[in-house]
Structure 1
Amino acid sequence: MPQSKRSRRRVAATKGQSQRRAPTSPSTKSSLHRISELSFPYALLPAPPVQHLPNHLIMDGDTLDDIVRTSEVIPMVAKALFPDEKFATTPKNMMCALDETLYSIDTHKWVRYPEPSDGDQQESAMAAYLNEFTRACWIFHTGKGRPLPKHVLRWTVTNTVRTALNGEVVQTLGIALVDARVTALQWSDVLCDIQIVPHVDRMPEAVRRLVTLSSGAANTFATQEDRLFHIGLAFAGDTVQLACYDRAGRVLSAAHNIHDNPVIFARMVMGLALLDKSYGGKDISTLTRDGRRFVFVGGLEYEIVETLSINKDIRGRGTTCWRCRRTDSDQDFVIKNAWADKRRALTEGDFLNIAASLDGVGKLVCGETVLRPDGQPHTTTVLRDALKGSSERCAILSQIPQLELRRFVLRPYARPLEEFISKDELLSVFRDAIQAHWDLYELKDVLHCDISDNNIVINEHSGSSLRRGLLIDFDRAVLVDKEHKVGPIGDMTGSLLFMACDIVQYSERVAHGPRHDLESFLYVLMIICATYSGPSNTPREDFDLSDSPMSAWMTGDGDRKALIMLQYEDDQFRTFLDSVFDPYFDHLKDLVCELRTVILRNRDRKVTHRDVLEVLDRHIRARRSAQERPSVVEEGGRDLPVVAECSKPGSRQKRNRRASALSDDMTAARASSTPRHEKEAWSSQSLGSDDRERTLVESHHASDETREASAVRLCTGKRKADPEESTRSSKRKKVAVGHAD
């Protein structure tokens, strides 16, 4: 009898508790139970084996330090990322719906949450738990009339190579959110990254795991062209912390106990697994259709034909460039995605409009700021706005770059500088870029401020047999003061590898001037001569710039760099060039020596564009004359580019650059006597597709390079490698160039 009374009291208490749980109605539970019996995609998924993610990118210690140094803690960042109104039901209501299955309202605990353990059991148990949670959430959303996911996502255990805070490379287990259809997992497939340590008392280790999350973020940014930001989670026992990486750095949530703060845990999992990929950091303005990629700009659709470049840094501009075509045109365009400082008065598009009337500069077709689904710009201040109105927010925003995503359609599509077909074309393209730089400076008061090998490109020139050089990328450009004609003081802009010595050494008190850009042009030529061994993108094998006498260029050792460039005597500098230049570029050492003297060692007067162009013109003429002598070369070689003597920008603006002629009448006469059919034959092969460019190398490489090889053998007695064989050699990974963002 007493036992029966106790049973009745338990039943009554249970009924009273049930009545107090208003959010979980009987109809909701029965709906959830009924739907769970249906054939749901997650129920068909076997537990996946551990996926080995091949390493793509190893971060250096300095980059990791920079991420840690610029991190900010914003406690409610999860709610800013995944607000209540974006869900079919709020995370709090979802917990009520999961009562007695995955969450207990009575005990305020997550039911069957994995116990801490060592080895890979922890990751496997957590992945299974997250998959069950995700499946239940989708079932509930289906009951609310929401459609099933187009592609089912799942959490899977990963084995990856990461970079620790001390720079050590470590092997670590983790979990990734991926498309369930993926079998051979790559970093390009990862939607979210999780790292786990077993116990909360090992929180210091969990913090270190946040560093390895940075390594994962770097890999996703380096492999995913549509990545706007990246989310990682770190678990330490029952504690979770979210890390969000964007182009301004890292934002951390507070460390939350999942049982004390169950809504936050539910919000994180639901936001990543239920909402569309834009909430997890993907750019949905680019789309894939029938295996082809498309992007909309200015109301027009462009097909992405080829990825030209992708910036692999987390922090900075994150520039990605594509070769694209419109459906109504067979013309190639370049579409550029870049995160630009929204505090700058002029955008890159503004500078391109200013330079629109000049030759030798890329042209803007259209440009726009990329918008989020809610119509607001994609910016790096969105997450920091979670501290809106606070003095802490103002302090944070004053220390980080305030960037917004901009997209430009540019023309013409041009080839990278390293695809020059001969040393003569390299010099001609180089000259064109310096000429364009002079025009911009003198006629438009624009200083480029970011001269690099990526920003000088080779373009066909309509109606001409010559490919010309173009100057591109005006992200860093400035309008100079009309009186002093220099840029701002203390602005260390540009690519470190090509920065002028003064800028590297004394950036805080040096005003960026044209001479610094001219110095950068010299470094572009030197880097090409050191890292390539022939034309048509033939990287130099078995050569590491960071382990060479030019290592100071990569490390930013301004004192060492200045010692070489400013203080070395001529014979010392020549020996230095001998130690770093590939033999293919032996004939350009005299030019580099003279350019160094004019740009860096002529302290009596300030170097000008005219000084540099005069040196270039003289060496180009000398090369032409040497190759035209019957005693040195055979007749029938193709004509060399004809360059104009440098002149003031006012007269240059009107000239026809396709018909530039030398002031030397005899040289001009020799150039004009070149048979027209030879020029037309060269043009027809050099101005088209990649296949036609390869044909050009095969047909002209032998005659052009044989002459140069003969000269090398006469001077040095060394045998030169077969140029066709070097053209087919495997490509060396291009030197990574960071920006001082």
Structure 2
Amino acid sequence: MPPAEDSQRLCTQRHKSNSGGGASSRKSQDAAPTIPPYPSSRLLERPTACILLPHAALEKDAVTALERASVEICGTVSTLFPDNMFPTPPSFVVGALDDLLYSLKERKWINYPSPSLYADPACQARSMAKYLNDFTRCCCLGYTGMKCPIPTTPRQWIVIESTRTLSNGETRQVPGIALADAGVDDVQWADVLCDVQIVGGPDCMPEALRRLSSGAANAFATQQDRLYHVGLALGGDVVQLACYDRAGLVLSVPCNVHDTPVIFARMIMGLTLLDKTHGGKDPSIVSRNGLRFVTVGGLEYEIAETLSITKDIHGRTTCWRCRLPDSDQDFVVKNVWADKKRPITEGEFLEMAASLEGVADVVCEETVLRPDGMPYTTTVLRDALGGTSERWAIIGHIPQLELRRLVLKPYARPLQEFASKEELLSVLRDSVKAHWDLYEVKDVLHCDISDNNIMIHEQPGSSLRRGLLIDLSCAVLVKGREKVGPIGRRTGTLPFMACDIVQYSDRVAHGPWHDLESFLYVLMIICAIYSGPLNTPREDFDLRDSPMSAWVSGDGDQKAVIMYQYEDDEFRTFLDSVFDPYFDDLKDLVCELRTVILRNWDRKVTHHDVLEVLDRHIRARRSARERPLAVEDSDRDLPVDADCSKVELRQKRKRRPVASKDDMMAATDRSIRLSKRKKIVHAD
């Protein structure tokens, strides 16, 4: 227990705060210059709710999957907010609040606005926000009186309205409460420190948790320094804490706020008085003077640009373009939640490939550590499970992830920023060659070929941009005569997965031919969802509602029918239905690649086979560009000047194709005629 004088100070401070304070109160605060005064003037009630704009949509299936993977653990609240983190423990504060906010005699919170099925939800949110602010204010004033540290910037509970996924799968704008720094005028998801959803009673708590899942998705999508996210579900007199991390959801045991006042106080005090790291913020990512910095390997990098972020709760990767102080060299810093069970890390794979051209180089890789020196993992809260058998029953069914950070070079741009179709094919060709070298020379199989993992980088002193293969987080070491991955290991990015991997992942060993099939899907999807170079998206087109919907939905059977069983004319018609007109002259190439990769039943396709096709088509395009009669029209395939507007690009696309296309079609027709002479026999 705290010393008797501390109790007297808190009680005295509580009396002064209840009566409005005065000169003696100000004098007490002035006597402790190291403790910043609590600026209660910044906690004025807001007249209207803040409208939070959605940044991530959580589908009904995703909510259901999250619920199935959730686990309820006794002790979650004390694990998140342990006693030794508080200058004065919550149990003492509850006692000191007797007759002010809590009645020890009646064992209930005084004037607690218990939610009701019959009350207006918006009114309930306003009443609860005011009560939480009153509790926060009393605790802060008490801490100030005892010269205990409080946050320099106070935190405030505010009423919000936001879009949530309901139990029936529908989305609706509903009221709620969010915790944010005081003084932020237009609070958005990027500012939310805790999310609160209120329902009419304990029986409706599942509905509140579903809404919290939507909030968690938005928090992860907008807060790049978030390690985990905390939400509170309130129903009647019952409260339940929900902690979301990259492995799923951990729930506290539902408790009655009146019967267990210390647990309720611990939640509110932990979120409002402790350092933000206890609410899920990453202390190694900091902001100063409007700039962001991240520390890796003991060096602080300035974050210049966010390159990518996976916008869902189970998303594992964020990438930034960064620079060291007083340097103009760009690096890529990759923040990734990596599988702890993998024997070789991504950084180790990249070190193996250090001598290869076309593969990213690793500068540094480290496991991010908590202030206590232990790694950030998704098993910390789940370790609070009592019995060993119970613990492993839960942990064995979720990803065991730890936070790692890599510094990579060279800095590269996304594949979608290709300057011309010739560059698109050239970059794709470079990546296939890098994949071949990685496989043949280093015995490493990539296993996750996608449009995000093929990049474009500039070469110093050259105007020619080259392809760069990145992301070895799913790679495997392959040795022996077969040189394939283990059977039953389903990895990759769904739209780009080979048919065999989608259909029979439990029976198929991942081989290099599966990755070559993925390269083909990268080209096909680019041709379907883009309308030109320089990241020009195709308007009014959704891959999910197109004939290529099987790629997105994971319908491996339909995907296999199209890719394996369609005759050449059927497949050409299929391409006509999905490709943007800008890519019409790449259909011959795609048809030939399909024949080589998927319809040659005599043997497995090799890297040499694919490179031979790509090289022939690239040479044909370059030959056509060099012909005098085709100079004007071939401008659309030349590297595009940075100042060239997209309007000019669209005008160039309208020009008729030149006769050089006949050379490519003739070469393709010869290849297809040869393949038709062979007896087509399906061999699994």
Q: Using the alignment, how far apart are the partners of 1:78 and 1:549 within structure 2?
A: 49
Mean Cα displacement is larger for which, 50-59 or 92-101?
Answer: 50-59
Q: Using the alignment, how far apart are the partners of 2:655 and 2:480 within structure 1?
A: 49
Change (3 A) 1:635 1:311: closer
Shift of 1:633: 2.9
Change (3 A) 1:472 1:288: same
Residue aligned with 2:505, SS: helix
Q: Does 1:59 align with 2:58?
A: yes
Aligned residue number for residue 430 of structure 2 = 432
Q: Does 1:543 align with 2:541?
A: yes
Q: Does 1:29 align with 2:11?
A: yes
Q: Is the 8 A contact 1:450 1:493 kept in 2?
A: yes
Q: Is the 8 A contact 2:420 2:637 kept in 1?
A: no
Shift of 1:394: 1.4
- Select 1:194's aligned residue among 188, 193, 196: 196
Change (3 A) 1:635 1:313: closer
Q: How does 1:561-600 map to 2 (within 5 A)?
A: 561-600=559-598
Shift of 1:148: 3.6
Residue aligned with 2:491, SS: coil
Q: Using the alignment, how far apart are the partners of 1:293 and 1:712 within structure 2?
A: 50
Shift of 1:506: 0.7
Shift of 1:35: 6.3
Change (3 A) 1:637 1:267: closer
Shift of 1:23: 10
Q: Using the alignment, how far apart are the partners of 1:480 and 1:705 within structure 2?
A: 49
Shift of 1:388: 5.2
Q: Is the 8 A contact 1:451 1:520 kept in 2?
A: yes
Q: Which amino acid in the other structure matches residue 142 of structure 2?
A: F
Q: Is the 8 A contact 1:420 1:535 kept in 2?
A: yes
Aligned residue number for residue 363 of structure 1 = 361
Residue aligned with 1:462, SS: coil
Q: Which amino acid in the other structure matches residue 103 of structure 2?
A: S
CA RMSD, 1 decimal:
2.3
1:408-466 Cα distance to aligned partner (Å, 9 max, x none): 11111111101100000000000000000000000000000010000000001123331
After TM superposition, the score normalised by the length of structure 2 is 0.90
Q: How does 1:519-668 map to 2 (within 5 A)?
A: 519-634=517-632
Q: Which amino acid in the other structure matches residue 129 of structure 2?
A: A
Q: Which amino acid in the other structure matches residue 192 of structure 1?
A: C
Q: Using the alignment, how far apart are the partners of 2:358 and 2:545 within structure 1?
A: 35
Q: Using the alignment, how far apart are the partners of 1:509 and 1:579 within structure 2?
A: 33
Aligned residue number for residue 184 of structure 1 = 186
Change (3 A) 1:637 1:101: closer
Residue aligned with 1:468, SS: strand
Q: Using the alignment, how far apart are the partners of 2:509 and 2:348 within structure 1?
A: 22
Mean Cα displacement is larger for which, 30-39 or 185-194?
Answer: 30-39
Q: Which amino acid in the other structure matches residue 253 of structure 1?
A: S
Aligned residue number for residue 50 of structure 1 = 49
1:546-584 Cα distance to aligned partner (Å, 9 max, x none): 110001111001011001001000000000000000010
Q: Does 1:320 align with 2:268?
A: no
Q: Does 1:138 align with 2:120?
A: no
Q: Using the alignment, how far apart are the partners of 2:626 and 2:601 within structure 1?
A: 37
Q: Which amino acid in the other structure matches residue 191 of structure 2?
A: D
Aligned residue number for residue 350 of structure 1 = 348
Shift of 1:612: 0.3
Shift of 1:34: 4.4
Shift of 1:76: 1.2
Q: Using the alignment, how far apart are the partners of 2:522 and 2:557 within structure 1?
A: 19
Aligned residue number for residue 262 of structure 2 = 263
Change (3 A) 1:383 1:707: closer
Residue aligned with 1:509, SS: coil
Q: Is the 8 A contact 2:420 2:636 kept in 1?
A: no
Aligned residue number for residue 303 of structure 1 = 302
Q: Is the 8 A contact 1:194 1:232 kept in 2?
A: yes
1:621-662 Cα distance to aligned partner (Å, 9 max, x none): 11122222223335997997xxxxxxxxxxxxxxxxxxxxxx
Residue aligned with 1:458, SS: strand
Aligned residue number for residue 280 of structure 1 = 279
Q: Which runs of 5+ in 2 are unaligned?
A: 27-37, 663-684
Aligned residue number for residue 244 of structure 2 = 245
Q: Does 1:497 align with 2:495?
A: yes
Shift of 1:713: 10
Aligned residue number for residue 158 of structure 2 = 156
Aligned residue number for residue 710 of structure 1 = 656
Aligned residue number for residue 221 of structure 2 = 222
Shift of 1:706: 4.3
Q: Which runs of 5+ in 1 are unaligned?
A: 1-20, 641-681, 687-692, 717-741
Q: Is the 8 A contact 1:413 1:459 kept in 2?
A: yes
Aligned residue number for residue 169 of structure 1 = 171
Change (3 A) 1:208 1:62: same
Q: Using the alignment, how far apart are the partners of 1:572 and 1:230 within structure 2?
A: 49
Aligned residue number for residue 482 of structure 1 = 480
Q: Is the 8 A contact 1:72 1:251 kept in 2?
A: yes
Mean Cα displacement is larger for which, 443-452 or 616-625?
Answer: 616-625
Q: Is the 8 A contact 2:350 2:362 kept in 1?
A: yes
Mean Cα displacement is larger for which, 706-715 or 507-516?
Answer: 706-715
Identity of aligned residues (%): 63
Aligned residue number for residue 676 of structure 1 = none
1:98-157 Cα distance to aligned partner (Å, 9 max, x none): 111011111111111114341122111110010011111111222232234221110011
- Select 1:463's aligned residue among 461, 464, 470: 461
1:510-532 Cα distance to aligned partner (Å, 9 max, x none): 11110110000000000000001
Q: Which amino acid in the other structure matches residue 406 of structure 2?
A: F
Q: Is the 8 A contact 1:229 1:281 kept in 2?
A: yes
Mean Cα displacement is larger for which, 332-341 or 107-116?
Answer: 107-116
Q: Using the alignment, how far apart are the partners of 2:450 and 2:400 within structure 1?
A: 24
Q: Using the alignment, how far apart are the partners of 1:700 and 1:148 within structure 2?
A: 56
Change (3 A) 1:473 1:99: same
Q: Is the 8 A contact 1:35 1:143 kept in 2?
A: no
Shift of 1:32: 3.7
Aligned residue number for residue 728 of structure 1 = none
Mean Cα displacement is larger for which, 51-60 or 358-367?
Answer: 51-60
Number of matched residues?
640
Aligned residue number for residue 724 of structure 1 = none
Q: Is the 8 A contact 2:530 2:538 kept in 1?
A: yes
Q: Using the alignment, how far apart are the partners of 1:714 and 1:530 within structure 2?
A: 23
Q: Which amino acid in the other structure matches residue 352 of structure 1?
A: L
Q: Which amino acid in the other structure matches residue 70 of structure 2?
A: S
Shift of 1:266: 0.7
Shift of 1:31: 4.0
Q: Which amino acid in the other structure matches residue 145 of structure 2?
A: G
Shift of 1:28: 3.7
Shift of 1:199: 2.8
1:479-509 Cα distance to aligned partner (Å, 9 max, x none): 0132220011111111001011011111111
Q: Is the 8 A contact 2:633 2:658 kept in 1?
A: no
1:163-185 Cα distance to aligned partner (Å, 9 max, x none): 12332111211110011111112
Q: Using the alignment, how far apart are the partners of 1:100 and 1:638 within structure 2?
A: 78
Shift of 1:375: 1.5
1:650-679 Cα distance to aligned partner (Å, 9 max, x none): xxxxxxxxxxxxxxxxxxxxxxxxxxxxxx
Q: Is the 8 A contact 1:487 1:511 kept in 2?
A: yes
Q: Does 1:694 align with 2:642?
A: yes
After TM superposition, the score normalised by the length of structure 1 is 0.83
